[in-house]
Amino acid sequence: MNLRIIQLMTLALWSMAVLALPCRAGSLDDYYLQQFGETAGAPLKAVSELSTEPLHPHCGMPLKRDLRRDWDKLEPATQTILAKQLAAPVLENEATLTWGHFVIHYATTGIDAPTPTLPYTVATWVQQVATTFESAYTAYQSTYGYRPPPVVPYHVYLRSLASLKIYGQTTSLAPVPSVGFPNAYSSYIEIDKDFTNAIYTKIPVLYTPLQSLQITSAHEFHHAVQFGYNYFFEKWYAEATSTWYEGELYPAVGQNYVYVHPGLSTVHVGWIWRWMPMPLPPAPATAAGSSTVT
Ligand SMILES: [Zn+2]
């Protein structure tokens, strides 16, 4: 069987298992309040109940999509608390860069303000973000033939996401029905402000900020494409295909995903662990010690 098919099937099986877990939680209100760190005295827990530290950063789309899906089932008080999770971010002293099909929003002061590592300045990093997303746009439309998201320019927000242990998240905004696409939704993307936190750059992650930006733009913008077709997609399939295209757009980065469970070591599926909100199995000592990113 083709190796890439084996990879996709394996990811799909893991995705289906993990994404089904939240249903085990108590009341829906308590579940979402806890997941978004809004339960009094409870630490932020934006990952599955089975998670243990340390966690690799992953994608925040599934949780936010579930929140919108279940919104009408929540108590008004819960909706009041969690409304900010579905609204576009408000950044401190926000500045924007409009480039191609994108508007990049970033804070100029406060915790969300980018502090990129050299050789980047804030200005050149924000430009890099815009250029990288534009590359994803071009690839999905021109190379792979997808229709673009229903609303452009598309808005991308830089935020400090390391504390949430996520690379990025795509959140649906509003229905934008059209002929042939009655369930299309607009959306927006949040990505980490600069990917310089150790959870993105240190063992066992080993990505440069640019590499994290590349794979995150490929992954999250594919979610934007998915929302543009049909909001009611299957989460496991959305995660599997977004991760798949990350490797399609940036195969050189994918070649360095070496943190594979020993039982899967004959199939190169290390990229599974980066996006799935579940604990990592111990990485082989030899793999961790010899891994590099070039
Ligand atoms: Zn995702």
**Distance (Å) from CA 136 to ligand 1 centroid:** 15
CA–centroid distance, 166 to ligand 1, in Å, is: 10
In 3D space, the residue among 160, 132, 228 whose CA is nearest the CA of residue 188 turns out to be: 228
pLDDT value for 40: 62
Report CA(170)–ligand 1 centroid distance (Å).
8
CA distances from 128 to 193, 213, 290 (A): 12, 9, 29
Helices (H), 70-167: 76-86, 122-138
pLDDT of res. 216: 95
Q: Is the distance from CB of 135 to CB of 213 less than 8 angstroms?
A: no
d(CA 170, CA 189): 4
Residue 280 has pLDDT above 70, yes or no: no
Q: How many CA atoms lie within 13 A of 177 on its CB side?
A: 4
Closest CA to 31 of 43, 39, 40: 39
The rounded distance, in Å, linking the Cα atoms of 272 and 276 is 6
What's the 75 CA to ligand 1 centre distance in angstroms?
27
CA of 274 to the centre of ligand 1 (A): 10
Alpha carbon of 144 to ligand 1 centroid (Å): 19
Residue-averaged pLDDT of the chain? 80
State what percent of residues in the chain have pLDDT above 70.
70
Verdict on whether the full-model pTM lies above 0.85: no
Domain range spanning residue 96?
3-290
Q: Average pLDDT, stretch 240-255?
A: 85
- Per DSSP, the residues of 237-267 read HHHHHHHHHHHHH-HHHHTT-----GGGTTS
Number of domains in the chain: 1
Strands 166-175 and 154-159, bridge-based pairing: unpaired
pLDDT of the residue at 38: 87
d(CA 222, CA 241): 8
Q: What is the mean pLDDT of residues 234-248?
A: 91
**Distance in angstroms (rounded) separating the CA atoms of residues 44 and 195:** 20
Neighbouring CB atoms inside 10 A of 84's CB total 12
